[in-house]
Structure 1
Amino acid sequence: MESQLHQLEDVLQIPVVQLRSGDYSKMLFSARELLAHSSHCCIVMAANHSSKKLQRLKDLYSCISLMNRLQRQLRKDYLSLNTSIIGVYPSLAYPVCVYEISTVADSYVSGNVLPREGSALFIAVKQLISKLLGVNPAVGGLGLILYKE
C-alpha cells in the first residue's frame, strides 16, 4: 500500500494498490497476487497525467480500456469474483467523490457533483466524450474493486 492512498483506502475500507504502468500483463499479475492474499481489494490507476486536454483524453481512454480488459480476464479466471469499476474525483490521493461507473450513481455524480463549467458547447462535447468513453473526463482516477466470494 502506498502512503498517498490512505484516504482512498479509508473511504473504500479495503486494501488499495496503485498501478502506474499501462502494462496489462503486469496489472494482471498484480491483481492475481492480491487475490491470492486477500478476498477483497482495489486496483487503481491515475487517469489524468497531463495538463494537455487531448493527452488527458488519451490517458483516460487507455485507463478505462485496461480496467475493462482486466475485469473481463479476472472474471474468467475466478468464477466467484465480483467486480466493479469506480471513478475517483478529483484525484486518487485526495478523493472527494468515489462512485461506481455505469450505474445510477454515475449519472447522479456526473450531473450534480462533477464540474460543469464552460459554454453550452463545451458541456455538450464533454457529455459526448462521457458517452463514448463510458466515464466522465473529469475523473482523476479509476479503480477496479475485486471481491471473492
Structure 2
Amino acid sequence: MIEIQIKTFSELTTEELYRILQLRSEVFVVEQDCIYQDIDGKDDKALHVLGIKNQQIIAYARLFKSGDYFEYASIGRVVVTKNQRRFNYGYEIMKASIEAIETYFNETTILISAQAYLKAFYKNCGFVEFSGIYLEDNIPHIMMIKEQVQLSDELSF
C-alpha cells in the first residue's frame, strides 16, 4: 500500500520536485535509454500525483485539465520505480489519477499517449485504444481514451 498525495506545482517542496524529476529521469531516460526533454515547461500547469512508501516517492503521474495539454483531460509521466513494480502500484497511481481528474477538474473523459507495450495495463484501467502506433521520442505509442458515460442520461422508459 502506498500513500497518495496530490499537489499543485506550487505546493511541491523543492525536495519533492527533485525526487520526482530524479524518478522520471531514472525510468524514462536511463532505463528506457531514451534521450528526450523531460523538463518540458508543463509541470507548472499540472496536478501532481505522488505515491509514497517509506517516505520515498516511488510512483508518480501528472495530470492536466482539458485544453492544457490535449483537448481532453490527460494523465502522463506515469512511473513506478523499477524495484516496486511487482506490487502493482501502477494501478494505485492510475486509480488515484482518474479520481483526481474527476474531483479537481470535474471531468470524466481522459486521454493518454501510452507506450504501446503498456496497452494491456491501460486497458485494465478502463482505457480503450483509438489510434494506430506512432513514434514519440523513438518509442512506439498509442492514443487511448477513457470515457465515463452517464447511463441515466441515455436511458428512457
TM-score range, shorter chain: 0.3 to 0.5
Structure 1 or 2: more helix by fraction: 1
- Which structure is richer in relative contact order (CA contacts within 8 A, separation 6 or more)? 1
TM-score (normalised: structure 2) = 0.32
Structure 1 or 2: more strand by fraction: 2
TM-score (normalised: structure 1) = 0.33
